[in-house]
């Protein structure tokens, strides 16, 4: 039984890369009202956008640099271990993928919402995150399929 089930607020780690991924993640904030929130992203300039919630920065990466991917994985692992979330949610990119994978390994429920920018195909991270996601979503009805990702609307 998780400690969230015995009276404390659920701990949620909401994580994404910057830009549109971050904007979409912030639009999901009302769904987690009343939760113990930690936001994580790749740019410290976003800190003021989360109000009193905890804020962490993690290393950004993409497939062009394996060394940066490794640094990103380590920084995300540290964030997940440090905050022990009950739920991990991401709108994308490499840091979100790593957070779902590590969160799942540590017993968190996981949610992936693929970026609105991916209208023709799931993102690379979104394709890979599906295996770690308890709830795997796309924001485009044409990309939904049996077994996931599922379409439940868009956040933009």
- Round to whole Å and give the CA distance between 60 and 82: 19
**35-47 per-position pLDDT tens digit:** 999 999 999 999 9
Distance CA 138, CA 104 (A): 19
- Asked if residue 156 is part of any domain, the answer here is no
Look at residue 1 in the predicted model and tell me its pLDDT.
42
Q: Is residue 72 part of a domain?
A: yes
- In degrees, to the nearest 5, what angle opens at C-alpha 119 toward C-alphas 114 and 122? 45
Name the residue range of residue 82's domain: 3-151
- pLDDT at residue 3 above 60? no
> In degrees, to the nearest 5, what angle opens at C-alpha 139 toward C-alphas 150 and 122?
80
> How many whole angstroms separate alpha carbon 35 and alpha carbon 53?
10
Whether 86 is covered by a domain: the verdict is yes
Q: What is the pLDDT of residue 156?
A: 64
Q: What CATH number does residue 73 fall under?
A: 3.40.50.2000
Would you say residue 28 lies in a domain? yes
Q: What distance in Å separates the CA atoms of residue 102 and residue 83, rounded to the nearest whole number?
A: 12
| pLDDT given at position 31 | 94
Omega cis (within 30) before 76: no
Question: Total structural domains in the chain?
Answer: 1
**pLDDT at residue 57 above 80?**
yes
């Amino acid at each position: 039984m998780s400690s969230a089930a015995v009276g404390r607020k659920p701990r949620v780690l909401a994580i994404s890369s910057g830009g549109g991924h971050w904007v979409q993640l912030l639009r999901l904030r009302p769904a987690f009202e009343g939760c113990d929130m930690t936001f994580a992203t790749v740019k410290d300039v976003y800190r003021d956008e989360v109000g009193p919630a905890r804020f962490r920065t993690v290393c950004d990466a993409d497939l062009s640099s394996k060394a940066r991917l490794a640094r990103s994985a380590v920084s995300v692992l540290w964030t997940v271990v440090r905050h022990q979330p009950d739920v991990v949610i991401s709108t994308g990119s490499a840091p979100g993928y790593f957070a779902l994978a590590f969160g799942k390994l540590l017993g968190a429920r996981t949610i992936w919402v693929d970026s609105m920018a991916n209208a023709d195909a799931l993102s690379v991270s979104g394709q890979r995150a599906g295996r770690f996601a308890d709830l795997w979503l796309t924001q485009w009805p044409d990309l939904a399929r049996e077994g996931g990702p599922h379409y439940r609307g868009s956040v933009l």
